[in-house]
Structure 1
Amino acid sequence: MDLSTMQDIGGCRAVLNTQDEVQRVVDRFCANSLDRNRRADKIRDYVARPQASGPRHIHTRYHGRRVEMQLRTRDQDSWAKIVENLTSRI
């Protein structure tokens, strides 16, 4: 695979108990990136603005690099795993 065609070359996922906990991590992340870079990193909120084909989570990149960070609740994680298992069999 050609690295230039990959969307992300690394990633991490944090599964938290509640959406409030997810939002606190997002807020802290934005504040830290604002201090570090003098601007906040872009956040894609797929909870507030869901995509028809994807899981519900917060998605961002780290320092503008192709590293995906997913923040989701346990329920969102369970649902994403169910959908992933079902679609991988098709």
Structure 2
Amino acid sequence: NGRMNADTSLDIMLRHIESLLQALGEDGVGLGSDFDGATIPAVIGDVAGLPKLLDALAARGFGRALIEKIAYRNWLRVLERTIG
């Protein structure tokens, strides 16, 4: 919904990821690393909580390869192409 809300549930986060995947494709979605200054859902808390989101993606039926793309491979691909 675009709101900065610490009460955002994992389900809403998953729906956002699904929407982004539909719009951008699996090569266009990646998790950000801006945990300082952003409103992070309480269910995640900080970077140590990211496995909760990744586990929720797996439970939702996302395959390992797609989860890896979302978690880091897409960012790694872009960084390698832009800065070598």
When the two structures are superposed, what TM-score results if normalisation uses the length of structure 2? Answer: 0.30
Indicate the structure (1 or 2) with the bigger Cα radius of gyration. Answer: 1
Query: Per residue, is there more helix in 1 or in 2?
Result: 2
Q: TM-score, normalised by structure 1?
A: 0.29
